[in-house]
Amino acid sequence: GIQVEQSPPDLILQEGANSTLRCNFSDSVNNLQWFHQNPWGQLINLFYIPSGTKQNGRLSATTVATERYSLLYISSSQTTDSGVYFCAWEETSGSRLTFGEGTQLTVNP
Amino acid sequence: NAGVTQTPKFQVLKTGQSMTLQCAQDMNHNSMYWYRQDPGMGLRLIYYSASEGTTDKGEVPNGYNVSRLNKREFSLRLESAAPSQTSVYFCASRLEVFTEAFFGQGTRLTVV
């Protein structure tokens, strides 16, 4: 199966800082999504981004499918951004969404 | 605007007991999924149902069974709970393959 590396595994920021989270894939993937799991365990869709760039407020994401990576940008971070960020993907055959191991983000006031 | 609803939210079982986790979605989605999440780990797929009337094993199906009761509902059954099944269980749905997935709030299960 496809191997994915999410980096960094852990990240600590001061409020107001910017950050970039990354997913690298060993092969072509489809249906790339980014999720945020908040400290209460809820999984929230951030972006559905099989290719290109999308922005939603302080967050934006870019997927370059031909180069097998996706990036999540967080600008002007806030304490409410804390939690775990997962990328998830689907192999070309479809039918199941697989999750990376996540990036644990802590934003301190 | 319920989306994906899971019941119960919390459950404690004794080893050997059985229980069923319920999941319902109101988005008219075709595909539904059950994942488990263990501490410090990502989500692992247990079973999925690509469409009403079909179910398939995921990455970690042992010890579980599922039923796609109708298009809205997808249940997960533990026939004889084991401590290794202590986890947080998430149900998800999406319209079809290669589309955006939506998750329920999770069920925190402890087996003692």
User: What would the pLDDT profile of B57-107 be if each residue is shown by its tens digit?
Assistant: 999 999 999 999 999 999 999 999 999 999 999 999 999 878 889 999 999
Inter-chain CB proximity B99 and A31 less than 8 Å:
yes
User: What would the pLDDT profile of A18-31 be if each residue is shown by its tens digit?
Assistant: 999 999 988 887 78
Burial (0-12, 13-18, 19+ Cβ within 10 Å), A29? buried
Query: Are A4 and A26 spatial neighbours (Cβ–Cβ below 8 Å)?
Result: yes
Q: For residue A109, what are the CA distances in angstroms to A9, A54, A55, A57, A65?
A: 21, 27, 24, 20, 36
* C-alpha triplet A93, A95, A101: angle, nearest 5°: 95
* C-alpha triplet B93, B94, B100: angle, nearest 5°: 120
Inter-chain CB proximity B90 and A97 less than 8 Å:
no
User: What would the pLDDT profile of A86-105 be if each residue is shown by its tens digit?
Assistant: 999 887 666 788 889 999 99
CA distance A105 to chain B (A): 13
Q: Is the sign of the CA dihedral A55, A58, A64, A65 positive or negative? A: negative
